[in-house]
Amino acid sequence: MNVHVLGCWGAYPEAGQATTGLLVETDKHKILVDVGSGVLAQLLDVCAIPELTALIVTHHHHDHTADFGVLTYALLLARLMGKRKRPLPMYMLKGSEERMRDLSKEPLADVHIVNATSEIQIDGVRVTFAPTIHPVPCLAVRIEYSGEVFVFSADTAYSEPVIALAKNADLFLCESSMYKGQEKEAKGPGHVTAPQAGQMAGLADVKQLVLTHLPHYGNHQDLITQAMETYHGPVTLAQHRMILQVGGQQI
């Protein structure tokens, strides 16, 4: 598997970039995980709408779903132009009445409501979840394919269920919204500091940790240093449009 980092910023995107969005690519699949602000424009550089296999939405905060509406418009136009005929499976927690009503109007939006106990099978891909600690319901995601395991924390405070979900993962993409010493500030809005991200990775015994959902201040290299205080494997910062090999190195 490869993971395309379409967006890695928390809250809002830096100029020309995007908030959370990932494209998980295998030899048979192109699965979009979250569709934050600016993500659709980044996606279309690497994947056309007809090529998408599925969409997974971790939660309904704007920085993870701001491009949801324009994605459905893209589906609409792909359908009208005859470029896509099969529905796009969308796996998510239940959203607002307005969002669910809008999705119900698009024939290609095939919505499946999931929860922390759900298991999804997508043509050989196994997807499972864990509840995170966040002000709104939110799910961490584990994707397994051909013996490779990728786990995305989504947004969370320090969480034992997320640690369990990430157990022995080849690649753990974990949010790192704040720095060492900001633990109290992080806990309220449901986020972790870099040392907490490292601690979760260490307890899960993951093979590689990549930090994402990055803050718009401070020295990001400090996030790596601080995560390495509690995790002794390889630590990388997510970067705009980087490609990560699950079980391998950055492309």
Tens of pLDDT, residue by residue over 5-41, are 999 999 999 999 999 999 999 999 999 999 999 999 9
DSSP state string for 108-123: TEEEEE--TT-EEEET
* pLDDT above 50 for 251: no
State residue 141's pLDDT score: 99
Rounded to 10°, the helix 194-204/220-227 angle is: 40
Question: How far apart are the C-alpha atoms of 66 and 57, rounded to whole Å?
Answer: 11
Render pLDDT for 161-183 as a digit per residue (tens, 0 to 9). Answer: 999 999 999 999 999 999 999 99
Owner of token pair 């939110």: 138
Across 227-246, average pLDDT: 97
pLDDT of residue 249: 55
The residue-averaged pLDDT of 114-139 equals 98
Find, among 49, 159, 124, 138, the residue nearest to 92 by Cα. Answer: 138
pLDDT at 247: 78
Stretch (H or E) spanning 106: none
Average pLDDT, the chain: 97
Phi, psi of 180 (to 5 degrees): -55, 135
- Structure confidence by residue, pLDDT tens digits, 51-74: 999 999 999 999 999 999 999 999
Pick the residue with more confidence: 247 or 174?
174
Residue 218 has pLDDT above 60, yes or no: yes
* Per-residue confidence band for 234, with pLDDT thresholds at 50, 70 and 90: very high
Q: Are strands 235-237 and 209-212 parallel, antiparallel or unpaired?
A: parallel
Burial call 50-75: b when 16+ CB within 10 Å, e when fewer: bebbbbbbbbbbebbbbbbeebbebb
Residue 131 pLDDT > 90, yes or no?
yes
Report the pLDDT value the prediction gives residue 245, as an integer from 0 to 100. Answer: 96
Query: Helices 68-80 & 97-104, crossing angle to 10 degrees?
Result: 10
Residue 232 in tokens: 């002794």
**CATH 1.10.443.10 holds for 2-245:** no
Reply yes or no on whether the pLDDT at 81 is more than 70: yes
**109-142 burial code (b ≥16 CB/10 A, e <16):** bebeebebeeebebeebebbbbbbbbeeebbbbb
Answer yes or no: are the C-beta atoms of 49 and 82 closer than 8 Å. no
Percent above pLDDT 70 for the chain: 98
**pLDDT of res. 94:** 96
